[in-house]
Structure 1
Amino acid sequence: MIYDSYVKLCIQQEEDTDGCSEIVNLGSAKTELYKKDDYQQYIINMVHIPHLIVGAGPVGLILGHYFKRFNIPFQIFEKQSFLSAHPSAHYLNMRTMEILDELNIQLPLENIQHFSNYVYLRRIGEQPLNSTRQLIDYKQYSYTSYAHLPQSLFVQHVQEGIRDKIQLNKEIKKIEFKDKIIKVNDDITCDYLYGCDGLNGFVRDYLKIKLIGNRDLQRFLNIHFTSKQLVNRLEQYNSMLSFIYNSDITAVIIKHRIEDGTFAIQIPLDLLTGKTDIQEVQHLKQDHVLIKNLINKTLRNQVNDIEIKSVGFWRMGAVYAEQYYKNNCVLVGDACHGMPPAGGFGMNTGIQDAQNLAYKVKEQKDLLYYQQERQQIAQDNIETALKFYKKSLDIAKSFTFDINKLKIYQSFYEKHSRFFILGWCETRGISYRIGSNLQENISE
């Protein structure tokens, strides 16, 4: 089914006394007048989608849920033939959990106690050099708790309820503008187009909207794998993140899911290969023997059930879009900002973008207000994530692992752990901060 759920428009031309051709509305399209010499041959079938969302990731899906809730007609186009299979983001802060509750979205969450620590090790199985615990008394701030769920599972569950609005294998290749109508791929028109297609997506690039900031802070090899044996090995730590520092490898292991043993490991590309050009190391994606050896350098060959699911590269930046709104096209989520993962702001900021935007669309507000509010939030979150990231580099750059540096970092983290968990909070266009003491003390 490609167009079954759309309103098909048979565009007819009727010459009037002014020498114009009237585009006759046979569905949800608006009646428009065009000069006859401009559209003499404009006799084709067109599909009109009032609100077109590009990208079926977490942000596009949440925006879709709000549009459904507000009875705003929409469709979601996803260029891939499947929704996200890589775990990618995994941290849901309390404001995001409030949004999910508002939308009545239920997720298969595992006990957060199993993900309550960050541990620092030379290798898995050894005594931790140190650890930090991130659980706090969150009840004084919100009726929700923060949660942990890999993005691949998140999108599979969030698509429920709007599955009939998602069209896979639908790639946007061209956008044109005419009399407040957006024309897409020569066969579709829409009133508003929402770019939820990520930092490397088509929409922002086609609109020639610049990114402000550093696009290329660091590059990583990102490995998605499963191992039930590793779940057992890590049970003693109750860790979400395990930072590995030894003479063989520097890496972070992310425990995504206990039930099926889903993990990801991120390895800085420059420390691994001495190279930063991703094109020069593409062969790594196919060399699963080498990849397993890399993982085992963190484990001392303590597991033998590793199954590689996917291997990719990730470029970390700290950027935001110069504009969020242009010609009735709106950028949302990673399409308009990218930030280091420290603090878990990325996906949460995007989901909160979607909520802010949806209320403004519902209330027919000027969408420049969305840009003003959310762009400032992105800038502040990027600044904070960068400070956390730079603190972590103090440890990562020291292969001998200076324990004194670790204690400094632990003290810093414990002071500001509220900010990691609560994140930025935003509702109905009014932004506020929880844990405001962070900016006063973060440089310590």
Structure 2
Amino acid sequence: MEKQQLPVLIVGGGLVGLSTALFLSHHDITSRVIERHRGTSIHPKARGINTRSMELFRPFQIEEQIRVAGAGLNKGGGCLLHANTLLEADFSTMKNLIQKLEKENDQLSPTIGSFTTQDLMEPILLQAIQERQGDVQFNMELVSFTQDERGVTAIVQNRETGTRETVFAQYLIAADGANSRIRQALGIQMSGRGTLSYNMNIYFRANLKPYVEGHEFSICNINHSKATGTLVSINHNDDLWTFHVNFDPTRGEGLSDFPDERCIQLIRTAVGDPKLDVEIISVLPWEAAVKVADHFQVGRIFLVGDAAHLMPPTGGFGGNSGIADGHNLAWKLAAVLKGTAAPELLNTYEIERKTVSHFTTEQAGLIANTGQLNMVSKKVSKAPVTSNNHVIMRYQYRSSAVIAEHTDSESNLSPYVEQLDGKPGTRAPHLWLEQNGQPISTIDLFHKNYVLLADEHSTWAYAAQYVSGELNLPIDMFTIGHIGNLQDPENQWHKTYQVPAGGAVLIRPDGFVAWRSCQIENSTEILSSVIRQLLSLEK
């Protein structure tokens, strides 16, 4: 068997695994992705890239590609409908689930999400990785692995030829899905509310234009007694849909109980047209659950995406949460592999993402409880947060990679904040500034290095330059003012970031506020101490 050595091995080449590899490449870290299937997903699966995920993809110039790929769902995106059959639907009762998010968005971000399905998203990510000379290998599976203090030794196999090779990686990322074999091999249990339902996802093509044209929707809950389920639009232009129905594995039900003939009958009944021409493309079982892994890290192995947390599709948080996992982990692995941070920094991945995952899965479960989707039965419980943006944007990290302020007391440990105002541990606020006479969002400043924002004429610019050289750590310094390298024509930056004149804000490579200072004096000494603490360099 051949033996290869590399910094990071990613097992699982789906939405989350590919995103993580792309984020690592942005930090100049080589990785290898292995995926057991022959290519990217042929099933839509996740059906939307939210605003925060779109922000994370902006540095790769693939935003427009993602939007073009999702254009087929633009009509009716976010609209929910209930009906006995589609033929009997009263379209005047449709509700727009994302209208409130869209109204909030202008204040929160320079971009907006897209209804792009996973089968269309993965090829975009794959191309972006390959353009950066990334290594993605399909039809390859993990056979076994061991780890020690130096790294992870994995045996991988080509599923077609049976050829095996040994790969030594300094770190391994498990992006191998809900039934993660790596998680199971590590003995990691999952906790939470548990399974809500088991569903069969029937992906099909049918011309439903006579019933929906001019009344396009995102989701239609079908209440017919012989075809209760959820009809989901995938691409209005290409007549693509999915229909989700429950099944009960405790009664021995499974994929074999849903041959094409039965699926076609279910769809015809749900639509209300017994002669509808239906082409079944694929059928995929899945579990709606609220579960979070008890550990996201064991030694040099990390769990991301569905391997780390499961949630129902309500809210559209699942795939996007996995993308955020990969983004959080990528910059930390890069810092450790480059020697600019101590290995202890990696411990903050589980601390930060596990807490957020508990909050996110809970909210997805609470939205499911409202009866939003027929695939998950309605239950009485407390209400979810008032806006999905609390889950998408306004969560807060608390770890040694963040220096909390004195006002962030133990008695006020809410998982989210009401406003993004520069508080340490929260996503840095979006603010339109000007650079070289052109508008630029602060969000587009934060993607690779630590960033320090401060007033022009302050001592922070010298401090950043000195500390950068002292620690061999790139720090992007931006001074804001009339003659700074960023201009603030509306004079909003102090208010938006809640920092006084002469103060400074330090942003992490993932766009989260690491530290905020109101002090002016001793800036070099303070900044050096702060960054050492953030990178676990101070013992």
Does structure 1 residue 57 correspond to structure 2 residue 14?
yes
Which residue is equivalent to 2:280?
308
Which residue is equivalent to 2:135?
165
CA separation of 1:276/1:177 partners in 2, compared to 1, >3 Å: closer, same or farther?
closer
CA separation of 1:388/1:94 partners in 2, compared to 1, >3 Å: closer, same or farther?
same
Which residue is equivalent to 1:132?
95
Does structure 1 residue 199 correspond to structure 2 residue 199?
no
Which residue is equivalent to 1:329?
301
CA distance in 2, matches of 1:55, 1:310: 20
Which residue is equivalent to 1:40?
none
- For the 8 Å contact 2:146–2:152, the answer to whether it is kept is yes
CA distance in 1, matches of 2:417, 2:216: 27
Does structure 1 residue 122 correspond to structure 2 residue 94?
no
- CA-CA distance at 1:387 after TM superposition: 0.9
Correspondences of 1:389-404 after superposition (within 5 Å): 389-392=368-371
The one of 208, 218, 226 equivalent to 1:248 is 226
CA separation of 1:89/1:394 partners in 2, compared to 1, >3 Å: closer, same or farther?
closer
The residue matched to 1:87 in structure 2 has which SS? Answer: coil
Name the aligned partner's letter for residue 351 of structure 1. Answer: I
CA separation of 1:346/1:128 partners in 2, compared to 1, >3 Å: closer, same or farther?
same
Which residue is equivalent to 2:472?
none
CA distance in 1, matches of 2:321, 2:376: 28
CA separation of 1:109/1:396 partners in 2, compared to 1, >3 Å: closer, same or farther?
closer
The residue matched to 2:249 in structure 1 has which SS? Answer: coil
The residue matched to 1:189 in structure 2 has which SS? Answer: strand
- What residue ranges of structure 2 are gaps of 5+ in the alignment? 156-164, 403-413, 420-539
Correspondences of 1:144-155 after superposition (within 5 Å): 144-155=111-122
The one of 135, 154, 175 equivalent to 1:184 is 154
- CA-CA distance at 1:422 after TM superposition: 6.9
Aligned CA RMSD, in angstroms, stands at 2.9
CA separation of 1:244/1:63 partners in 2, compared to 1, >3 Å: closer, same or farther?
same
Which residue is equivalent to 1:441?
none
- CA-CA distance at 1:426 after TM superposition: 6.6
- For the 8 Å contact 1:343–1:420, the answer to whether it is kept is no
Deviations for 1:23-77, whole angstroms, at most 9, x for unmatched residues?
xxxxxxxxxxxxxxxxxxxxx7421122111111111111111111111011101
TM superposition score normalised by structure 2: 0.64
CA distance in 1, matches of 2:216, 2:391: 20
- For the 8 Å contact 2:221–2:373, the answer to whether it is kept is no
CA separation of 1:311/1:109 partners in 2, compared to 1, >3 Å: closer, same or farther?
closer
Identity %: 24
Which residue is equivalent to 1:419?
388
CA distance in 1, matches of 2:417, 2:242: 30
Deviations for 1:116-136, whole angstroms, at most 9, x for unmatched residues?
411111111324273211323
- CA-CA distance at 1:149 after TM superposition: 1.4
Instruction: Select between 297-306 and 346-355 the one with higher mean Cα deviation.
Output: 297-306
CA distance in 2, matches of 1:277, 1:267: 16
- CA-CA distance at 1:236 after TM superposition: 3.2
Which residue is equivalent to 1:33?
none
The residue matched to 1:162 in structure 2 has which SS? Answer: helix
Name the aligned partner's letter for residue 21 of structure 2. Answer: G
Name the aligned partner's letter for residue 241 of structure 1. Answer: I
Deviations for 1:67-98, whole angstroms, at most 9, x for unmatched residues?
11111011101111122111111022111111
- For the 8 Å contact 2:288–2:376, the answer to whether it is kept is no
Which residue is equivalent to 2:346?
367
Instruction: Select between 166-175 and 140-149 the one with higher mean Cα deviation.
Output: 140-149
- What residue ranges of structure 1 are gaps of 5+ in the alignment? 1-43, 270-274, 399-404, 437-444
CA distance in 2, matches of 1:265, 1:200: 23
Does structure 1 residue 237 correspond to structure 2 residue 215?
yes
Name the aligned partner's letter for residue 109 of structure 1. Answer: G
- CA-CA distance at 1:142 after TM superposition: 1.3
Higher relative contact order (CA 8 A, sep 6+): 1
CA distance in 1, matches of 2:301, 2:375: 40
Which residue is equivalent to 1:102?
59
Name the aligned partner's letter for residue 353 of structure 1. Answer: D
Deviations for 1:184-205, whole angstroms, at most 9, x for unmatched residues?
1162111000001112022111
The one of 144, 149, 159 equivalent to 1:174 is 144
The residue matched to 1:392 in structure 2 has which SS? Answer: coil
CA separation of 1:141/1:432 partners in 2, compared to 1, >3 Å: closer, same or farther?
farther
Correspondences of 1:32-43 after superposition (within 5 Å): none
- CA-CA distance at 1:113 after TM superposition: 4.0
- For the 8 Å contact 2:227–2:270, the answer to whether it is kept is yes
- For the 8 Å contact 1:222–1:264, the answer to whether it is kept is yes
- CA-CA distance at 1:248 after TM superposition: 2.5
The one of 348, 362, 366 equivalent to 2:320 is 348
Which residue is equivalent to 1:277?
250
Deviations for 1:380-433, whole angstroms, at most 9, x for unmatched residues?
0111111111111797799xxxxxx9xx99xx89x93x4169724579977984
Does structure 1 residue 83 correspond to structure 2 residue 50?
no
- CA-CA distance at 1:168 after TM superposition: 0.9
CA distance in 2, matches of 1:246, 1:206: 43
- For the 8 Å contact 1:121–1:242, the answer to whether it is kept is yes
Name the aligned partner's letter for residue 177 of structure 1. Answer: Q
- For the 8 Å contact 1:352–1:426, the answer to whether it is kept is no
